[in-house]
Structure 1
């Protein structure tokens, strides 16, 4: 508002004797522009778009297009961009509605397509649309996977990386990240590294190996115990006899990142971070440790959705996927308790509420911007909600330093939700 003021309403463009109304992108989200074009003599509406994917947005677009057609009585062609750009994924899914709001053509999501739709004048001078190709849009969890796959593929390819490297821990987040990477890039461009510590379980070693085998990717194993021992010796004079705490746990995570960055530098591969939105929300991640990377494909994906995506991928080969069909994530990864394995017998729920509870509260706080009282009214415990709110607020400084990642929700960190780091007011908690 400080830099621009609205220009005049557009008029139709005369093309080969046909008056075309061309509302641009969000011009279609309200009635004013399309009504002005219709009143100025437009005969057909063509809406060019750069509209990025969000969960549920395809239905919203169609509803808005139906509203504009109903108001103007004109056929409408919605033409959307396809491809990834940084955090955004433009999902395509272009469509054509006739003057009666009937769907005459529907192009695919997440891949380029060309369709020809013929229009002819009827006896009253209006335009009649012939049927064009119609591909039913994916449903359920599938479009989320499609957005993640395309977003990672275009980020790597358009920035001319040879491939990616990631730490494969034997946990669900790194396993799903590896599966998406293989589907996006092919197994030959995905390099995985397992970095066990004295606290790494045999099950995690076995699960990482089995996941790599199912995906057909290279897996190297580099133990970090020598780095842990070296740091202990380096810091002992300064730390004296202070007891171990999260300091030593974070040294493990940062030792792993040093190792992964060495692989990234040596083999000219982009480091793929593997943290999810639940962890990013509450700061359950190590700054300059597991948060480090060039891109994070799960950055906007809650933990409960991570599990849903993993189950779906084991049952379905995604459209355009370059990975193998069938199960690619071992069953034990899906069923065991998630753990950072930075100390003996550790699980995520030692520190966090159950993910079903945590994600429900986070969605209320982030996507719906609800107050604590409103969330409690939905049946959540007040102390748990207040604790999650404090963790969310306190982790802003970490999120500011996180790498970019695919946006799939209305309120992705970095683009849509940015709060001040320095704020003396912390609420009545």
Structure 2
């Protein structure tokens, strides 16, 4: 039996935070050493941070990455380690991974398949490394091999698939297997999306089974750079079986997963499969290092109790947004969180997420460690319970007008008090009236609902923004905006009003799902936290902006269309790139209860509002990427601010419906 202890560590890194990133790496190395690990895989670009963007072009960033590697080398004593950084070779930048043994740099592997779709722009900064090429790079005072390399430690051969290298049809791992790899490491920076962990599991399992290797996948962790949440979730497989699964959405700086693997067993499988081995001269480096067998028994890492296969979407949503919010608060060094709480579903969801952030964080870290991670708020050090921390971190304000109702006022107060937030109420009618009176005098006529409906609605939302900003500024807090994706799609929000804020935690999720999630939170809630019964006062309502007089009976769906229809139209039009007639055909099958004329009106309304309101999407606060239906033009879904508005296609739709 040729047994070693293999490990992967997820790291919560920050672009260009050199000392923090080095500290996290060194802590993970020490944890691996304590766990009697021989071979450790760390994430892609973990030295510099994955999200450096155009800073990758800076020579200072390139050089500092190498300087940090040199500082980390002594901490790798007794270990073989793979860790990522940007690397300049022949005046081009590559996404590379250093292989280090016992304090010595052996060489670099460079990524061959770059991620250039969705939120990823790697081809903007990096060049893909040619298959089979090996070169040299001058760094740290010596020349080191770089390229399509493998490494041999005491007869055990180790190769690397760097993130996207494993997601393509012609995986790098296939060639590594033919070259005799015993272990494949996958240093990744794989962003969170709903159900994506299942795809990763399949990639890792197929790799270990089809290549007859042991396979270690690692990932980044947390909100690294603002928009993107990484869920961790390291995986180790051997002989087609998962043997270790790391935690996801951890609030720690790193999360180590390890398992013992038997190299002789995978070699026997390879021999039985008669897989040919082709040695390529100069592509496998002898590391002069032996991977020692483990001296003490440790149980392999198991997944969190909630993280089933497949995991519940409700749990993933709760944990992704909560961790994203925590890291944004921590890394921005903001003094707390402020929410303009309307008493409706969206703001209640954001407040609940802030509450869950504290619940999850304290459950994992404890109150003192949680407070230390938010050291910019010294007041947190006195808190001894999660409820106390919520009160110190979160402030909610209900800003009424004469169009606000007792139902929403009660709901806002009840939810805020139930989660332990600070809560304030005030009325903005005097400010609204002052604006209306000033403009009425200027234009020479009174403003009326019959003639000025939209303007009178918007001024109420805008009058609320200065007070919310002022409240946030008093403590240097982060003002959270509560826009959701459905409203973003059609611009059903007031710029500089309810869109005011520095972060939009739920702008990546549709309203129909939010309403479902709130019911789940009321009745069930996340593993280890349980339900929040106070949300019953939210779930009993029909969503309304409360910007028209109460006699109008205003509802969001009345202004727009049923949210289920809106979300189906949005997916068909934006995600699936269908034209108006095709969208109509798809939603007609889904909603036979509506007449063709009614569905046609809603489809046309969607396309018109979508085109008119791209400028709003360009101005929304940063949001978290949660799935492939994001509408954020800065990271996922680009659309021209000015366009023809689908006029030709909508005319075709009207003609098509007339013939139905």
TM-score, structure 1 normalization = 0.93
What is the aligned partner in structure 1 of residue 436 from structure 2?
Answer: 232
Alignment pair present for 1:61 and 2:194: no
Note the residue ranges of structure 1 that are not aligned, 5 or more in a row.
none
The one of 643, 646, 649 equivalent to 1:426 is: 646
Name the CA distance, whole Å, in 2 between partners of 1:126 and 1:158. 48
1:196·1:223 contact (CA, 8 Å) conserved in 2? yes
CA shift at 1:74, angstroms? 1.7
Equivalence map 1:325-340=2 (5 Å): 325-340=530-545
Counterpart residue number, 1:6 = 128
Rounded to whole Å, the distance in 2 between the matches of 1:416 and 1:102 is 34
Farther-moved stretch of structure 1 (281-290 vs 6-15): 6-15
2:221 matched residue in structure 1: 82
CA distance in 2, matches of 1:74, 1:151: 34
Alpha-carbon distance between aligned partners in 2 of 1:12 and 1:370, rounded to the nearest angstrom: 46
* Matched ranges for 1:76-155 at <5 A: 76-85=215-224, 86-99=226-239, 101-111=240-250, 112-122=254-264, 125=267, 132-135=300-303, 136-137=307-308, 138-155=311-328
> For 2:400, what is the secondary structure of its paired residue?
coil
Distance 1:164 1:126 in 2: 57
CA apart distance, 1:425: 5.7
After TM superposition, the structure 1 stretch with the greater mean CA deviation from structure 2, 5-14 or 337-346, is 5-14
TM-fit CA distance, 1:71: 3.5
Distance 1:240 1:232 in 2: 12
Contact 1:105 1:117 in 2 (8 A): yes
**Following the alignment from structure 1 to structure 2, what is the Cα–Cα distance between the partners of residues 271 and 238?**
33
Give the 3 Å change call, closer, same or farther, for CA 427–233 of structure 1 in structure 2: closer
Structure 2 counterpart SS, 1:53: coil
Instruction: Tell me which of the two structures has the higher relative contact order, counting C-alpha pairs closer than 8 angstroms and 6 or more residues apart.
Output: 1
Q: How does 1:16-415 map to 2 (within 5 A)?
A: 16-30=154-168, 31-85=170-224, 86-99=226-239, 101-111=240-250, 112-122=254-264, 125=267, 132-135=300-303, 136-137=307-308, 138-185=311-358, 186-188=389-391, 189-241=393-445, 242-243=447-448, 244-318=452-526, 325-344=530-549, 345-380=553-588, 381-412=599-630, 413-414=632-633, 415=635
Query: Unaligned 5+ residue runs, structure 2?
Result: 1-122, 132-147, 271-292, 359-388, 589-598, 651-660
Q: Aligned-pair distance for 1:355?
A: 0.6
> Does the 8 Å CA contact 2:212/2:269 hold for their aligned counterparts?
no
Task: Report SS of the residue matched to 1:19.
Answer: strand
TM-score, L = length of structure 2: 0.61
Q: Per-residue CA shift, 1:368-423, capped at 9, x if unaligned?
A: 22333332222433332232122122211001001001111113213110111122
**1:289–1:337 Cα change, 3 Å:** same
User: Cα gap change, 1:219/1:425 in structure 2, threshold over 3 Å: closer, same or farther?
Assistant: closer
Distance 2:324 2:602 in 1: 34
Which is worse superposed, 232-241 or 272-281? 232-241
Quickly say closer, same or farther: Cα 1:194–1:4, change in 2 above 3 A. closer
Distance 2:572 2:492 in 1: 19
Query: Per-residue deviation at 1:343?
Result: 0.8
Q: Aligned-pair RMSD on alpha carbons?
A: 2.3
Greater C-alpha radius of gyration: 2
Q: Output the CA distance in 2 between the equivalents of 1:72 and 1:228.
A: 68
Please say if residues 34 and 68 of structure 1, whose CA atoms lie closer than 8 Å, have aligned partners that are also in contact. Answer: yes
Higher alpha-carbon deviation: 180-189 or 355-364: 180-189
Evaluate the alpha carbon distance shift between residue 379 and residue 295 of structure 1 in structure 2; reply closer, same or farther with a 3 A threshold.
Answer: closer
Matches of 1:126 and 1:255, distance apart in 2: 72
Find the aligned partners of 1:121 and 1:237 in 2 and give their Cα distance. 84
Distance 1:362 1:379, change over 3 A: closer
Confirm or deny: 8 A CA contact 1:13 1:22 kept in the other structure. no
Post-superposition CA distance 1:204-243 (Å, at most 9, x none)? 1111111112111111112101101211222122232253
* Structure-1 separation of matches of 2:259 and 2:204: 17
CA–CA distance in 2 between the matches of 1:127 and 1:108? Answer: 30
Q: CA deviation at 1:318?
A: 3.2
| Aligned-pair CA distance for 1:349 | 2.0
Q: Is the 8 A contact 1:50 1:80 kept in 2?
A: yes
1:52-83 deviation digits (Å, cap 9, x = unpaired): 11112111222233333344222211111111
Q: Secondary structure at the match of 1:359?
A: helix
Give the whole-Å Cα distance in 2 for the aligned partners of 1:162 and 1:3: 34
Moved more, 307-316 or 404-413: 307-316
